[in-house]
Amino acid sequence: MKHSGFLKYHVLPFVVFLFGWCAHAQFKNRLTVHLDENSNTLHIQQEWEYPNMADTVLEELYFLDWANAYYDKDSELAKRFAQEFKKNLHFTKEEDRGRTDIINISDAQFRNLNWTRTPASDILRIDLKTPLGIGQSTKFTFTYDVKLPDSKFTDFGYGINHFFLKDWYLVPATFRDGQWLLDSNKNLDDRFSPLADTHIEFHYPAIYELTSNFDSNPIITESATQNKVELIGKNRDACEIHLRKSKRFKDYHNPGMVVVSDMSAPRLDAVKQDLSMIKVMNYVTRNLGHFPHATLLITERDYGKNPIYGLSQLPSFIRPYDEAFIYELKLLKTSVDNFLKESLHIDRRREKWVHDALLNYFMIDYVKRHYPDTKLIGKLSKMWAVRHTYLAKMGFNDQYPLLYMLTVRTNLHQPLTTPNDSLVKFNQRISNPYKSGLGLTLLEDYLGKKDFSSNLKGFISDNQGKSVRTQAFEDNLQAFAEQDISWYFEEYVEKSNLIDFKIREIEVKGDSMEVTLKNKTGVNLPVSVFGVRNDTIISKFWYDPNPDKFNSKSFPYQGEDKLILNYDNKLPEFNQRNNTHSVKPSLFGGKPIRFQFFKDIEDPYKHQIFYVPVLTFNAYDGITPGIRFHNKSVLRRPFVYDFTPSYAIKEKSLVGSAKLSYTHNLNKSGHYYTSYTIGGSTFHFEENSRYKRLVPRISLGWRPEDRLSNKRKYLTLRYVMVQRDLADGLDIDTEPDYGVLNARFTNVDNHILDYFLWSADAQHAADFSKISFTTEYRHLFENNRQLNLRFFAGKFLRNNSRESDYFSFALDRPTDYLFDYNYLGRSEDSGILSQQIIIAEGGFKSQLDTPFANDWIATVNGSVSIWRWIEFYSDFGFVKNYGQKEEMVYDSGIRLNLVTDYFELYFPLYSNNGWEVGQDRYDQKIRFVITLSPKTLLGLFNRKWF
């Protein structure tokens, strides 16, 4: 009892006091800043008042110094750029870089503190002289300079006639759940630090106009050349400052909110721009509530960092949408994005999906309310060339499931809870945000409550100025639903399993029908079923979440002629082609066959066969027009067929190719796909001489757990069957028909700074067995010079075809007996087409006296940059033919590496042939590499996003 009384009258009041102090404790931040325009440097004196609101004593503190991320070429920011194949930060001049120079850090007793940079160069560790106890507060003073970087990297820094400051001063790292959140700058706009009351005294050249997201006191003129302003942010996490020599920002006063913006629509007159701004701001205040600060800053720069993909990629001369529509969506996305950032303190590195869900929900809602009839491709949907396509019928909001499905079909999708810095670029920018927004529209539709958006508004208003965790958002939605919606969080948010339902059976029994669904992937999600008669919706009902493979329910029969699952596309299904089922048996399941010119979006309600004219060329078939029939839509399909019958004008005969393939996507990491393919082709390899090729193949792929990694492993097993029909009088020294069993394993790390590949290849045929090994390495030095090294070694285990070099290892130009390479003139030994090379096998560029090896070969190919895309190359190796001594071979020259592996020119200088420049017919010694395949060239773009 005595202990109980002591707790009651002594300990409990202290606990209550401590809890109350912590609840109202506030980080306080005061800065005095001078901008030196000549050196692009900020001179900063900063004082932090730091309360320990953790549940443990702190012996060291961490501060985020994101401005220093530009200084180190090995920083997390530089690594992120390299992953996205951007090298401008790595190779920029020293004066263009940014950095932070710490002059002094001291505590409240004016004692200098020891500090170090962590392995991440933009995070500081500060060792305290005295441990900071629970509930205690202390002060720190920082003196440092921030050398601003060139704004060409991330927009942050200095540019021509402007400065942009974002994440520019030191802020404490967040201590949460017993650990420090030590996040580096990765250009993801997701810095997370404690909210603070911040006061900034900012001195800057008077020729600049200053705009900030913070409140400001009147500007004070200190001298003819210098101004001073006080910027105040209460309970804010970051101050953003724009300095420009010309006035660009305009104030818009709206009830409940003042907007400061430099966003404009040059093709829209000023009155209409103002009306659009009022329209958007009315929507924002009506649906998101009162903005907690004096002004909302929205800028073109903000929009550029997070644009509406599709709108932003269109050339300026293509205007498929009304100018007001484009302007309003730009305003809406930027204003809602910044409204949420300034209102809800969300950890956007780990819980960004909550922010994305709210942002994209309101984007979808706005279009649904104000532009319900706007098509995905706008006015282009009325053009004669596309108006009959499924793409032309899609609404603007249909882009959300469509773009999300791009990564699902390529097996690159990731859960919404994946940390922001672990998402591949396409998922981080487009796919996951779009799925997040779709999830809320799905939940709204499933719950059937008209006040769903009002609940979201209440959540935003109730949590303004607070650190919001995912759990708070879940609790809010669960309380609103009044029914179990755990499936939304456990299946939709936390997992990325494929979603695929189909109607297995419909049985009409009088005035009711029993409908059996098949859950093909076992996901525990709801799915809607629409009843359609004469293409008009007459009924709708839901199947509740059920992971069972089959699920049967009875519904009233109202004369529907077919049922369609997920007709409104609220659920991002992997395959919608199996969603339609006729109530009565019908041909092709009620889906007609449609032949369609060119390529289209996948139409789930028709069997599409695409056709398109093609034109190819080689020296023997000449110009070869044809027509290609295939089922490849914009979204990748597991099963693909592709037939291309063509007519060779020169040979006056039919040629072409055909392929059937099926890709089975497996786990997200490790062995992630298996592909089964059978393909064939027939073209001419010499005048009046045709080859026929049939290749069954199995391919397997592996990738690491880290989806950002460019490391991949591939194993391919195939059997290449070749038949050759020879022209009269054409003499060849091998059998015209042969088959080769081929196994190849490839390990590649495709990195912009250090590219590394090795592969092992084994071939077995009736006349030979051989093995080979290839490795390639490319390194980009800090001075922007590139070193390329390649090693190849091959050995015949058995060779009964030595009288011919058809199957031999080639030193400079492989015979391509497997018909893998796209030679324009594969049998040519003179003329321009004979100068085309494929860098394979020996990889030499000069034509030497010993061009083949029927025993073994070992070569090294190297090149190094001289200036930009001009390189010096050199090849060295040994060639061994049966019954002869090995021969040393070498060559060297100049390489114009215009686009690596796609377009290159080689000019020989010196080799076993001697000084080649001074020899006759030098123009015939020049070699070239050329790739004309659009699919191959597209890889240059895709690698940045996927």
CA 538 to chain centre: 40
pLDDT confidence tier of residue 105, bands split at 50, 70 and 90:
very high
Q: CA quadruple 487, 489, 493, 495: dihedral positive or negative?
A: negative
Q: State yes or no: pLDDT of 267 exceeds 70.
A: yes
Strands 622-630 and 639-648: antiparallel
Q: How far apart are CA 790 and CA 774, in angstroms?
A: 7
Q: Classify residue 825 by its DSSP letter.
A: S
Q: If you write DSSP's letter for every residue of 399-443 in order, what string do you get? A: HHHHHHHHHHHTT----TTS-GGGS-HHIIIIIHHHHHHHHHHHH
Taking only the tens place, the pLDDT of each residue in 429-484 is 999 999 999 999 999 999 998 899 999 999 999 999 999 999 999 999 999 998 99
Could you tell me which residues come within 8 angstroms of residue 557 by beta carbon, excluding any fewer than 6 positions away? 508, 509, 510, 511, 512, 513
Amino acid in position 197: D
> Residue 221: which H helix or E strand, with range?
strand 220-221
Helix (H, G, I), strand (E, B) or coil at 57: coil
**Which residues are paired to 157 by β-bridges?**
164
User: In angstroms, what CA-CA distances link 299 with 21, 242, 404, 843?
Assistant: 38, 10, 27, 52
Residue (of 797, 721, 736) closest to 762 by Cα position: 797
User: By percentage, how much of the chain surpasses pLDDT 70?
Assistant: 95
HSE on the CB side for 41, CA within 13 Å?
12
Residue (of 920, 764, 757, 919) closest to 839 by Cα position: 757
Taking only the tens place, the pLDDT of each residue in 792-819 is 999 999 999 999 999 999 999 999 999 9
Q: CA quadruple 302, 305, 311, 313: dihedral positive or negative?
A: positive
Contact between 818 and 838 under an 8 Å Cβ cutoff? The reply is no
Q: How far apart are CA 882 and CA 82, in angstroms?
A: 47
Helix (H, G, I), strand (E, B) or coil at 549: coil
HSE on the CB side for 875, CA within 13 Å?
32
Contact between 349 and 419 under an 8 Å Cβ cutoff? The reply is yes
Q: How far apart are CA 691 and CA 688, in angstroms?
A: 10
Taking only the tens place, the pLDDT of each residue in 269-308 is 999 999 999 999 999 999 999 999 999 999 999 999 999 8
Residue 444 is encoded by which pair of tokens? 């709204």
Average pLDDT over residues 822-833: 91
pLDDT confidence tier of residue 88, bands split at 50, 70 and 90:
confident
Give residue 19's pLDDT. 38
Residue 448 is encoded by which pair of tokens? 């059937």
Helix (H, G, I), strand (E, B) or coil at 698: strand
Q: State yes or no: pLDDT of 17 exceeds 70.
A: no
Taking only the tens place, the pLDDT of each residue in 878-893 is 999 999 999 999 999 9
Could you tell me which residues come within 8 angstroms of residue 791 by beta carbon, excluding any fewer than 6 positions away? 773, 774, 775, 776, 858, 859, 860, 861
Average pLDDT over residues 821-826: 91
Give residue 311's pLDDT. 63
Average pLDDT in the chain: 91
Among the ranges 24-38, 598-612, 757-771, which has the highest mean pLDDT value? 757-771
Q: How far apart are CA 357 and CA 670, in angstroms?
A: 30
Residue 738 is encoded by which pair of tokens? 């042969």
Count the neighbouring beta carbons within 10 Å of the beta carbon of residue 247.
9
181-184 contacts at long range (C-beta below 8 A, 24 or more positions apart): 181/347, 181/349, 181/350, 182/62, 182/118, 182/120, 182/123, 183/64, 183/349, 183/421, 184/66, 184/69, 184/75, 184/76, 184/77, 184/120, 184/122, 184/123
User: In angstroms, what CA-CA distances link 570 with 114, 489, 494, 519, 825?
Assistant: 55, 16, 18, 17, 52
Contact between 861 and 897 under an 8 Å Cβ cutoff? The reply is no
Residue (of 640, 653, 743) closest to 689 by Cα position: 653
pLDDT confidence tier of residue 4, bands split at 50, 70 and 90:
very low
Average pLDDT over residues 614-630: 95
End-to-end CA distance of the chain: 67
Helices 470-481, 352-370: crossing angle, 10 deg rounding: 50
Q: How far apart are CA 724 and CA 708, in angstroms?
A: 45
CA 247 to chain centre: 35
User: In angstroms, what CA-CA distances link 620 with 617, 651, 813, 816?
Assistant: 8, 7, 19, 16
Taking only the tens place, the pLDDT of each residue in 671-688 is 999 999 999 999 999 999
Residue (of 535, 525, 604) closest to 569 by Cα position: 604
pLDDT confidence tier of residue 3, bands split at 50, 70 and 90:
very low
User: In angstroms, what CA-CA distances link 467 with 345, 584, 790?
Assistant: 5, 56, 53
Q: How far apart are CA 710 and CA 751, in angstroms?
A: 7
Q: State yes or no: pLDDT of 256 exceeds 80.
A: no
Q: How far apart are CA 839 and CA 391, in angstroms?
A: 41
Taking only the tens place, the pLDDT of each residue in 26-73 is 899 999 999 999 999 999 999 999 999 999 999 999 999 999 999 988
Domain ranges for the chain, please list them.
501-597, 767-946
Could you tell me which residues come within 8 angstroms of residue 23 by beta carbon, excluding any fewer than 6 positions away? none
Give residue 251's pLDDT. 94
Residue 468 is encoded by which pair of tokens? 């919001």
Q: How far apart are CA 338 and CA 333, in angstroms?
A: 9
Give residue 588's pLDDT. 61
Give residue 8's pLDDT. 36
Average pLDDT over residues 338-343: 96
Q: State yes or no: pLDDT of 15 exceeds 50.
A: no
Q: State yes or no: pLDDT of 24 exceeds 50.
A: no
Count the neighbouring beta carbons within 10 Å of the beta carbon of residue 513.
19
Helix (H, G, I), strand (E, B) or coil at 396: helix
Lowest-confidence range among 129-133, 579-583, 909-913, 936-940? 936-940
pTM above 0.85, yes or no: yes
User: In angstroms, what CA-CA distances link 388 with 193, 348, 561, 595, 631?
Assistant: 52, 42, 24, 11, 17
Residue 764 is encoded by which pair of tokens? 């077995």
Taking only the tens place, the pLDDT of each residue in 239-250 is 999 999 988 999
Q: How far apart are CA 463 and CA 473, in angstroms?
A: 10
Q: If you write DSSP's letter for every residue of 844-856 in order, what string do you get? A: --S--S--EESSE
SS3 readout for 773-787: EEEEEEEECCCCCEE
Count the neighbouring beta carbons within 10 Å of the beta carbon of residue 563.
23
Contact between 106 and 113 under an 8 Å Cβ cutoff? The reply is yes
* Residue 137, φ and ψ in degrees, nearest 5: -135, 150
Q: How far apart are CA 918 and CA 477, in angstroms?
A: 80
Contact between 411 and 673 under an 8 Å Cβ cutoff? The reply is yes
Record: fold of 501-597: Immunoglobulin-like (2.60.40)
CA 718 to chain centre: 32
pLDDT confidence tier of residue 936, bands split at 50, 70 and 90:
low
Taking only the tens place, the pLDDT of each residue in 385-443 is 888 899 999 999 999 999 999 999 999 999 999 999 999 999 999 999 999 999 999 99
Strands 580-582 and 295-298: unpaired
